[in-house]
Amino acid sequence: MSNNISLTIRIPEKLNIKLKQQASKLGFTKTGMIKISIHQFIKEKPYNLLDVDVENYKGKNFRLVLNINDFTNNVLLETAQKYNISVNSVVIRVCILASQYYEELLLKLGFDD
């Protein structure tokens, strides 16, 4: 299954920087980490995305292009419809959950900020 869909997302710059640093420490690409997190936090361990606090991430946005396959696109579309929010908002909320998860993981692995 190829990544035949390019999705342009705007995420808060503060969140982008945090994800980029975490991905670098773990040896991932930021977009790879986000794509894995979409499935982890929506399908594997479903979270109520409306409970995710987005207030700490207000401000200037960073434009990010995610190349995704049809399956991931459908997951995003279904989730956006379920919560009555935009796909962009789904991705932001997943990124916040991912950042929190990877922050804890990095601490357990002995990485300091």
Give residue 96's Cα distance to chain centre. Answer: 6
The domain total for the chain is 1
The pLDDT of residue 7: 95
In percent, how much of the chain has pLDDT > 90?
84
Residue 113 lies inside a defined structural domain of this protein: no
Rounded alpha-carbon distances, angstroms, from residue 41 to 61, 79, 91, 111:
22, 11, 10, 23
Residues of the domain holding 53: 5-108
Flag whether pLDDT at 113 surpasses 70.
no
pTM for the predicted model, two decimal places:
0.91
Residue 36 lies inside a defined structural domain of this protein: yes
Flag whether pLDDT at 38 surpasses 90.
yes
Residue 92 lies inside a defined structural domain of this protein: yes
Residue 53 lies inside a defined structural domain of this protein: yes
Residue 95 lies inside a defined structural domain of this protein: yes
Residue 73 lies inside a defined structural domain of this protein: yes
